[in-house]
Protein backbone atom coordinates (compact mmCIF):
# COMPACT_ATOMS: atom_id res chain seq x y z
CA UNK A 1 0.00 0.00 0.00
CA UNK A 2 1.36 3.37 -1.00
CA UNK A 3 1.88 5.96 1.74
CA UNK A 4 0.30 9.29 0.86
CA UNK A 5 2.71 12.21 1.10
CA UNK A 6 1.80 15.33 3.04
CA UNK A 7 -0.78 17.38 1.10
CA UNK A 8 -3.95 19.43 1.34
CA UNK A 9 -7.43 18.55 0.10
CA UNK A 10 -7.09 20.36 -3.24
CA UNK A 11 -3.83 18.54 -4.04
CA UNK A 12 -5.38 15.26 -2.93
CA UNK A 13 -8.35 15.68 -5.25
CA UNK A 14 -5.96 16.42 -8.14
CA UNK A 15 -3.93 13.28 -7.31
CA UNK A 16 -7.12 11.19 -7.23
CA UNK A 17 -8.62 12.84 -10.35
CA UNK A 18 -9.01 9.58 -12.25
CA UNK A 19 -9.63 6.13 -10.85
CA UNK A 20 -10.99 4.57 -7.68
CA UNK A 21 -9.20 4.94 -4.37
CA UNK A 22 -9.54 3.95 -0.74
CA UNK A 23 -7.81 6.21 1.75
CA UNK A 24 -6.84 4.40 4.97
CA UNK A 25 -6.26 6.93 7.77
CA UNK A 26 -3.99 5.59 10.50
CA UNK A 27 -1.21 6.40 12.95
CA UNK A 28 1.61 4.33 14.44
CA UNK A 29 0.48 4.99 18.02
CA UNK A 30 -3.16 3.96 17.40
CA UNK A 31 -4.02 0.51 18.87
CA UNK A 32 -7.18 0.18 16.76
CA UNK A 33 -5.12 0.93 13.64
CA UNK A 34 -2.60 -1.73 14.66
CA UNK A 35 -5.54 -4.13 15.02
CA UNK A 36 -6.78 -3.69 11.41
CA UNK A 37 -3.39 -3.26 9.64
CA UNK A 38 -2.61 -7.01 9.35
CA UNK A 39 -5.89 -7.50 7.44
CA UNK A 40 -5.29 -4.70 4.94
CA UNK A 41 -3.38 -6.84 2.36
CA UNK A 42 -6.31 -9.30 2.29
CA UNK A 43 -8.80 -6.46 1.94
CA UNK A 44 -6.73 -4.92 -0.86
CA UNK A 45 -6.62 -8.29 -2.64
CA UNK A 46 -10.40 -8.56 -2.42
CA UNK A 47 -11.04 -5.08 -3.88
CA UNK A 48 -8.60 -4.91 -6.78
CA UNK A 49 -10.60 -2.21 -8.60
CA UNK A 50 -9.39 0.24 -5.92
CA UNK A 51 -5.94 1.66 -5.28
CA UNK A 52 -5.37 1.81 -1.52
CA UNK A 53 -3.46 4.74 -0.03
CA UNK A 54 -2.34 4.90 3.58
CA UNK A 55 -2.64 8.34 5.17
CA UNK A 56 -0.58 9.02 8.29
CA UNK A 57 -2.85 11.12 10.45
CA UNK A 58 0.01 12.85 12.24
CA UNK A 59 1.82 13.72 8.99
CA UNK A 60 -1.43 14.93 7.40
CA UNK A 61 -3.22 16.51 10.36
CA UNK A 62 -4.33 19.51 8.27
CA UNK A 63 -5.73 17.24 5.57
CA UNK A 64 -7.57 15.21 8.22
CA UNK A 65 -9.13 18.41 9.56
CA UNK A 66 -10.13 19.52 6.03
CA UNK A 67 -11.75 16.13 5.43
CA UNK A 68 -13.33 16.02 8.91
CA UNK A 69 -11.50 12.82 9.85
CA UNK A 70 -11.45 13.07 13.62
CA UNK A 71 -11.16 9.39 14.49
CA UNK A 72 -8.88 6.62 13.26
CA UNK A 73 -8.72 4.12 11.74
CA UNK A 74 -10.99 5.55 9.07
CA UNK A 75 -11.62 4.94 5.38
CA UNK A 76 -12.74 7.31 2.61
CA UNK A 77 -13.54 6.12 -0.91
CA UNK A 78 -12.86 8.42 -3.87
CA UNK A 79 -13.82 7.98 -7.49
CA UNK A 80 -12.49 10.34 -10.14
CA UNK A 81 -11.45 12.95 -7.59
CA UNK A 82 -14.71 13.03 -5.63
CA UNK A 83 -15.59 11.43 -2.32
CA UNK A 84 -18.25 8.76 -2.77
CA UNK A 85 -18.46 7.24 0.73
CA UNK A 86 -16.75 7.15 4.10
CA UNK A 87 -16.37 4.90 7.13
CA UNK A 88 -15.10 7.51 9.56
CA UNK A 89 -15.29 7.27 13.33
CA UNK A 90 -13.04 6.50 16.26
CA UNK A 91 -14.18 2.91 16.73
CA UNK A 92 -12.11 -0.23 16.25
CA UNK A 93 -12.96 -1.75 12.88
CA UNK A 94 -12.94 -5.45 12.08
CA UNK A 95 -11.98 -6.93 8.74
CA UNK A 96 -15.63 -7.90 8.20
CA UNK A 97 -16.82 -4.34 8.83
CA UNK A 98 -14.32 -2.88 6.35
CA UNK A 99 -15.16 -5.53 3.73
CA UNK A 100 -18.90 -4.90 4.21
CA UNK A 101 -18.37 -1.14 3.86
CA UNK A 102 -16.37 -1.50 0.65
CA UNK A 103 -18.79 -4.07 -0.79
CA UNK A 104 -21.74 -1.70 -0.35
CA UNK A 105 -19.85 1.12 -2.12
CA UNK A 106 -19.69 -0.95 -5.33
Residue numbers annotated as active site: 30, 33
Cα 38 to its chain centre, rounded Å, is 15
- If we measure between CA atoms, which residue out of 29, 25, 32, 33 comes closest to residue 68? 25
Amino acid sequence: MEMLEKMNQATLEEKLATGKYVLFFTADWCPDCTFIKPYMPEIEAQFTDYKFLQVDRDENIDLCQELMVMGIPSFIVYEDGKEVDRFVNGDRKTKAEVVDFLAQVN
